[in-house]
Amino acid sequence: MSTDDWKVLVKSEGILRDMAGKQVVRLIDAFAGCGGMSLGFVRLSKARFEPVWANDVNEYAAETYNTNFGNHCTIGDIVDILADPEMIIPKADVVIGGPPCQGFSLLNKGRADDPRKHLWKPFLEIVKRSNASVFVMENVPQILGSPEFKAILEESQEMGFKVASSKLCAADYGVPQTRYRAFILGCRFDDPEKYFPPKKTHYDTNNGYSLGRSNPGYIDDPLPWADVRAAIGDLPPPESTEIRSEPSPLDLHFGRTPTPVSRARYRAIPEEGMNRFDLQKRVPELTPKCWIKKVSGGTDLFGRLWWNKPAFTIRTEFFKPEKGRYLHPEQHRPITHREAARFQSFPDDFVFKGTKIEIAKQIGNAVPPLLAARIADIVYEMFIRRGS
């Protein structure tokens, strides 16, 4: 969808429409990151969303957003931005975003007073100032059982919203990755539980799904989960260890310079699905002592992916095999930035800006665009039914 598409808009019966008569929904992306969620709403959904404003504290992520969606992203701490009396949040129909989630993460169990738990407050402040009638908040699944979730519900209801929430698996919506995220959908003019969660478009062939039977949680003709081979099987072995000057997808398809010990570890576990326990069985002398002492848990650490399964959750340090199941199914190396971006469902023509480390953060922190697109579809359906 080009920038020119947004130049001519008309109002009909109080509803913003494009020249083809399609309703246009104005969109704000708070805590936007590189724009994974916006990508789903603006380009990959069946709907027509117009980005009007965004915010992120990271300048590289904001540059990526602005490169792909137009110069809408304001850089800075959202609390400071909202405290500026001269700051005007534009009017919008929908506010989306994922307030930083580390405070809720299982990796931060001991940080009960983490102030990042409360960044949902400025998110709802943006909803209020923009006069949006729908919001979509994304976070880690642990938020759904937290005291903060109860507070979000209470404040949303005071603002006039009805709210629905659910934990969704990205693989159920075409993303080649079993990433689980929580979504909270609020609407002023309709009950979101009539639409949310969106019907699943893909199914796990190993989970008892039977074609030809009634499955109300799925679309009529769902597809099998997308797997690693479908996502990255066409890519050649990576070259170089830096961002390449070649066209996409090879620009971000670069490797690392592992130590001789790391190379030996990779070669010691050559089969799909192997992990640190296989490493310990085969070459205990190459296994870190901390892993030998940890006899349970962490089954994905130093793990190889399977060709015929989705990838596992892509985090910000996917290039470090000791952090998760990030080894290529057969090549003796970690996955590349391009492979991680594809596992997140970013199309190859999406432009990332920044250093290798910064781009990795953007990829790992993003909402998978294909998952966001399916949520966008139901949000748009609510607006269509409201205007009909």
Tell me whether residue 211 is exposed, middle or buried, using C-beta atoms within 10 angstroms of its C-beta: 0 to 12, 13 to 18, 19 or more. exposed
Rounded to the nearest 5°, which phi and psi values hold at 175? -80, 130
Helix 59-69 to helix 356-365 angle (10° resolution) is 70
Identify the residue whose tokens are 């169990």.
109
Active site residue 101: yes
Cβ(253)–Cβ(338) below 8 Å: yes
Angle at the Cα of 90 (from 118 to 144), degrees rounded to 5?
30
Q: Of 29, 33, 26, 41, which is closest to residue 64 (Cα–Cα)?
A: 33
Catalytic choice (34, 101, 169, 187): 101
Please give the Cα distance from 329 to 270 (Å, whole number). 8
Taking phi over 0 as left and psi of -120 to 50 as alpha, with beta for the rest, 106 belongs to: alpha
Residues catalogued as catalytic: 101
